[in-house]
Structure 1
Amino acid sequence: MDLSPPAVGQAVAEVFDGVDAVPRVERLDRGFSWVTLAVDDVIVRVAPQGGSLDPYDPEVEAANLRRVEGVVPAPAVLAVQPDADNPIGRPFGVHTRMPGGVLRLDDVTEQRSKYIAAAAQALGKLHDLTAPMTVAEAFDAELSHTEAVYRRAAPNRHPEFEAALDWLRSHRPDCDDPAVWCHGDFRFANLSWIGPGELGGILDWERAWPGDPMCDVAFTRRFSGWCSIEDSTDYGRPLDQERLEYAARFERVRSFTASMRAIRAWLDGRSHDPRLLTIGRRGEEAMQTELAWAAD
């Protein structure tokens, strides 16, 4: 992967005529997934060789972004390069840059309620976008996908994970409500803010899927800390407690595939980032205790 300004400028210019030949390039990502670059006035999302969300496909994220255009504030797709045969050496997507910026916890000690309300309202608007299947069908499809990822990525067998999948299948809500488009990673770190309660954009759409809206709500409670949706006041939709309890377990199971893919990328030599190995090991250790409910 060549992230030098000349290589990035040439690669982007081949698919999008909107950057300098030798552009200003700033790396924005601090996580374990896409390589995110600010290139002049646009965002370039580069697929890594390996990581916690393998396989990486910029066309998938582009399709998700196009689907929510005009529904919620999100980046617009400017171009997609699905092949690695380019000066960067990896597939990438070019998106608009969202106004505002991602904030830290210390940045929002005041007027916190405004941020929480705006986040809940945005998620409620997203969940107005229905998908052509029922909630039950969406769960079945995603559970099959999750098992396929496990079979491909897990370095070892995990009986507790397999038991959890069986439990989720046998307890799956028999809900014929229309599925909605879920973000799949809706947390404060993936929101860009212009000011208190002024949402600039929702970022990182690679995990979006058609599913149960309660899954996004449960995800905020598990992974978004204080910025979680606790009632329907600002969210604007009824909360089903039984489905929320199921969704919380579903999201926890699904999250473990990230640690599996991280350690697989390390073991296969596609990434040499030691943080991926750490993520993988911690995930394997956590499964033994956090999925104990599957044996009840």
Structure 2
Amino acid sequence: MDEVEVVVAHSQRATLRVGEVFLKVDVDPAHADVEVRAMAMVPVPTPAVLWCEPPVLAIAAVPGTALGVLGAPSPASPAAWAAAGAAIRRLHDAPLPPWPGRKLDDVAEELDRECAWLLANDVLPAEVVRRNREIAEAVLRPWTPAFIHGDLQITHVFVDDEDRVTGIIDWSEAAPGDAMFDLAILTLGHEEHLDDLLVGYGDADRDVIRAWWSLRSLTASHWLIEHGFDPDEPGCEFDVLRARMPDS
């Protein structure tokens, strides 16, 4: 019998792998509902749903390997990144899902709250927080909603040896939203691959993508720290924030 591998585990969610099956356990059944519905709608490769009995969703493994991991160089070729960009464009051009996404006011409130927490707890130098807060302001403008993945981390996009996208996983945050958010999350900590990604994706607002790098890193750090992750690992969120400083 295959060993059980713990892929992710924290107080809100756990993912286990047994052979070619992933078991996702989530305290919020709405996440599995969104994931199943989104994967049935999107025009890109996704895992096969084997069964869903809340709080557990069972999905099949997708072939290929992830584009990379945060904090380490991506082993994927420029052509693989371009293929990922083309797949994301198909997603963003697809009809919107029928459930609501985040509102601009919610994003602004989260930015205010998390910057205040970072400053109050001396997590980062005040000038790093304030500089990135200024950059992040570019996100706070009206956007035309697109069908976004909502958590398009580099580990969620799989490609094969022929530089084809074989699967995009973890759709529980899918919703109408800002297309630039997906592009920013995928290239967070891998900024050197943005040009490759846009070869396949096409036109994009680079200033807004950079703003999302700052906003995401500012707003995710509190959650990461509270759930046992370290945003100060090399190449991760704190390095992204420090890289925005004028003397870096």
Give the TM-score taking structure 2 as reference length: 0.67
Q: 1:149 Cα shift?
A: 6.4
Q: 1:254 Cα shift?
A: 2.2
Letter aligned with residue 125 of structure 1: R
- The DSSP-based 3-state class of the residue aligned with 1:279 is coil
Q: 1:234 Cα shift?
A: 1.9
Q: Is the 8 A contact 2:136 2:215 kept in 1?
A: no
Cα pair distance change 1:132/1:284, threshold 3 Å: closer
Q: For residue 28 of structure 2, what is the aligned residue in structure 1? A: 57
Q: Is the 8 A contact 1:182 1:211 kept in 2?
A: yes
Q: Is the 8 A contact 1:62 1:93 kept in 2?
A: no
2:208 is the alignment partner of 1:246: yes
Query: Residue 126 of structure 1: which of 91, 109, 129 is its match?
Result: 91
Give the aligned length.
233
Q: Is the 8 A contact 1:100 1:194 kept in 2?
A: yes
Q: For residue 180 of structure 1, what is the aligned residue in structure 2? A: 146
Q: Is the 8 A contact 2:66 2:155 kept in 1?
A: yes
Q: For residue 257 of structure 1, what is the aligned residue in structure 2? A: 219
2:101 is the alignment partner of 1:101: no
Query: Residue 47 of structure 2: which of 47, 55, 75 is its match?
Result: 75
- The DSSP-based 3-state class of the residue aligned with 1:95 is strand
Letter aligned with residue 279 of structure 1: P
Q: For residue 78 of structure 2, what is the aligned residue in structure 1? A: 113
Letter aligned with residue 101 of structure 1: T
Letter aligned with residue 140 of structure 2: R
Query: Residue 139 of structure 1: which of 100, 104, 107 is its match?
Result: 104
Q: For residue 279 of structure 1, what is the aligned residue in structure 2? A: 231
Q: Is the 8 A contact 1:259 1:280 kept in 2?
A: no
RMSD over aligned CA atoms reads: 4.3
Q: 1:232 Cα shift?
A: 4.7
Q: Which runs of 5+ in 1 are unaligned?
A: 1-22, 48-55, 83-91, 266-272
Q: For residue 4 of structure 2, what is the aligned residue in structure 1? A: 26
Q: Which runs of 5+ in 2 are unaligned?
A: none
Q: 1:207 Cα shift?
A: 4.4
Give the TM-score taking structure 1 as reference length: 0.58
Q: 1:145 Cα shift?
A: 4.5
In structure 2, what is the Cα distance between the partners aligned to 1:171 and 1:106?
27
Structure with the bigger RCO (C-alpha within 8 Å, sep 6+) is: 2
In structure 1, what is the Cα distance between the partners aligned to 2:73 and 2:223?
32
Higher Cα Rg, which structure: 1
Cα pair distance change 1:250/1:187, threshold 3 Å: closer
